[in-house]
Amino acid sequence: MCKFKFSCLFILFLIFSSSCVYSQITSFKNFDNGRLDSFTLEGNFYRLTPIALLHFGLRGVFEQSPKFKIYYGSDINISNTNRMIYRYSNQTNWTFFDTAFTMNGYYFFYNITPFTYDSVYIAYWYPWTTTQMTGYMNQIHGNQYVHNDYPRGYSLQGRPLYGFIVTDTTVPDAVKKKIVVVSRQHVYESIGSQICMGMSNYLIYSNDSVAYNLRRKAIFWFFPMANIDGVYLTYNVGPGPDFNRSWRQDTLPSGRKEIDTLKRYIFNETNGNADFTFDIHSNSSRVGDFYWWGVKSGPQPYPQIAANLVRKIRSADSADNGGVPVMEGTIADDVLSMVCDCNDWWSYHSLHAVSFTLEPGSRPPLPLQRIENTGKSICKGLYSVINEMTGISFISGIIPEKYNLYQNYPNPFNPVTKIKFDITTSLSFPNALIGNPFVSLKVYDILGKNVTTLVNEHLQPGTYEVAFDGSNLPGGVFFYRLNAGDFAETKKMLMIK
């Protein structure tokens, strides 16, 4: 009998102790949009009822392992593959919870190991707050490649709508491709902001040959957080049910202050014409792969360029990540086959751009750095396609033993011929910052006058081919000269008309 009483008292002590420990935990809702409706203890689990995105903070969790559950039939579309993440208040890295599962209509998640700090932030996906965006704008301000970094306007709630340009101003803008990147038009789409930041970080800070040349070949407009009010409020902000569904072909105004501001600025700055636009969203229901809305049908060359670009981006994504890409190689048609007023639809019709809406997913969850790296893959794919559009083709990545300039083919020609050359590494090349030789391929007439420059940039080692079109020149003998690192060679060709 005494043993039974002792056991009962011990169990009651454990229950009371657990209640006391849990009673010290409090939640705060001012994290990101943090729209919790209720935070109540049911047995050993906290039951969460979110209004919008499941982002919230906890205090008093030091050396504790609270457990959580949420009804997964709510507007938060979660499942076994959506492991929640957390970070401590004084750290920036997000960590996955130990356990996540669904049972009896609820989604459960918790840590087996107790928290080691008093305060933590818990999120459904990787958040990127307006405070972080402001910090990022301060970080890149003053960089030699960053320009016009200031608020383009303000939201209905008076929050700054930031934008900035990345390019190398030593090259005239008139010869560059125009690329527009808009991200986060819905509350929960902070992965889109992370990819946008991944693109800009690569272009701003990398000194490899691709980033170096892309800054010289293109001008980028970045808008990392379009729906800035939704971060603090809820899914539906301002007039109309959906922030993204206001990019109409009849341009201005749309009735949305943020979108009206963006459209005016983008249209005016690009003079109503852009080459590529990316509207980067997020899609939590997509397992693993990213997918694309864009130009799939309609007049050439738009579908061909769009499909080629997606293939190039997937190839770069695979090469940079151990052969495991997350970018899909196909496009779901949007702008022509259905009535839609999303960003890519407006960009195609108003800016005549090859336009995409990119829907990244992260199930099972990917590391944050892996998500940001897709921004680098997008840049590399763009560089490859832009090179092809301007006549330079990357034939092989095998590093040749030496520099070589081949005889043009065909020769004689009328009026187009192709010139192939090999680029290798050079110990005598002085520009260690870039790491790849500067390559110049120029064509001269019989009098030694430079009639065109086919290549004038840093190139990574490999084999290349470039087309020379002499349609606007008279027939006769021409010379083409390759300078690369410490190598120089000239060859003769004949155009017959």
Query: Is it the case that residue 236 has pLDDT exceeding 50?
Result: no
Per-residue pLDDT at 237 exceeds 50: no
Those residues with Cβ within 8 angstroms of residue 23's Cβ, 6 or more apart along the chain or in another chain: none
Helices (H) and strands (E) in the chain, counts: 9, 26
How far is it, in rounded angstroms, from Cα 192 to Cα 199?
11
pLDDT confidence bin for 447, thresholds 50/70/90: very high
d(CA 88, CA 426): 48
pLDDT at residue 13, as a whole number: 36
pLDDT for 104 equals 84
- Give me the amino acid identity at 322: G
Question: Given a cut of 90, is residue 369 above it in pLDDT?
Answer: no
Taking 3-state DSSP, the helix, strand and coil percentages for the chain, each rounded to the nearest 5, stand at: 25, 30, 40
- The pLDDT value recorded for residue 266 is 94
More confident residue, 168 or 457: 168
Give the count of beta carbons closer than 10 Å to the beta carbon of residue 154.
Answer: 14
pTM for this predicted structure: 0.78
Instruction: Tell me what the mean pLDDT of segment 340-353 comes to.
Output: 82
5-14, 351-360, 471-480: which has the minimum mean pLDDT?
A: 5-14
pLDDT number for residue 239: 40
* Mean per-residue pLDDT, 177-181: 96
Which of 133-147, 164-178, 272-286, 328-342 is modeled with the greatest confidence? Answer: 133-147
CATH number of 130-390: 3.40.630.10
Fold exhibited by the domain 8-123? Immunoglobulin-like (2.60.40)
pLDDT in tens, 78-133: 655 566 888 898 887 888 898 888 888 888 999 999 999 999 999 877 778 888 89
Least confident of 87-101, 105-119, 203-217, 258-272: 87-101
Candidate ranges 239-243, 277-281, 347-351, 492-496; pick with highest mean pLDDT: 492-496
Please report the pLDDT score of residue 277 as a whole number.
95
Position with higher pLDDT, 64 vs 17: 64
Strand partners, 424: none
Angstrom distance (rounded) from CA 321 to CA 325: 7
pLDDT for res 431? 43
DSSP notation for 389-437:
HTTEEEEE-SPPSS-EEPPPBSSSBSSEEEEEEEE---TT---TTT-S-
What residues does CATH 2.60.40.3120 cover in the chain? 8-123
pLDDT tens readout for residues 288-317: 567 788 877 777 888 888 989 999 999 999
Least confident of 8-22, 238-252, 307-321: 8-22
Which residue is it, tokens 């379009």? 226
Mean pLDDT of the chain: 82
pLDDT in tens, 44-90: 999 988 766 678 899 999 999 999 998 865 545 565 556 688 889 88
Determine the pLDDT at residue 326.
Answer: 81
pLDDT at residue 8 tops 50:
no
Does the pLDDT of residue 2 top 70, yes or no? no
Where does CATH 3.40.630.10 sit in the chain?
130-390
pLDDT at 19: 36
Stretch(es) of the chain classified as CATH 2.60.40.1930 = 395-495
The residue to which tokens 């808008």 are assigned: 223
Q: How confident is the model at residue 337 (pLDDT cuts 50, 70, 90)?
A: very low
Peptide bond into 299 cis (omega under 30): no
Q: What's the fold here for domain 395-495?
A: Immunoglobulin-like (2.60.40)
Among the listed residues 409, 430, 358, 419, the one whose alpha carbon sits nearest the alpha carbon of residue 189: 358
Q: What is the mean pLDDT of residues 403-427?
A: 91
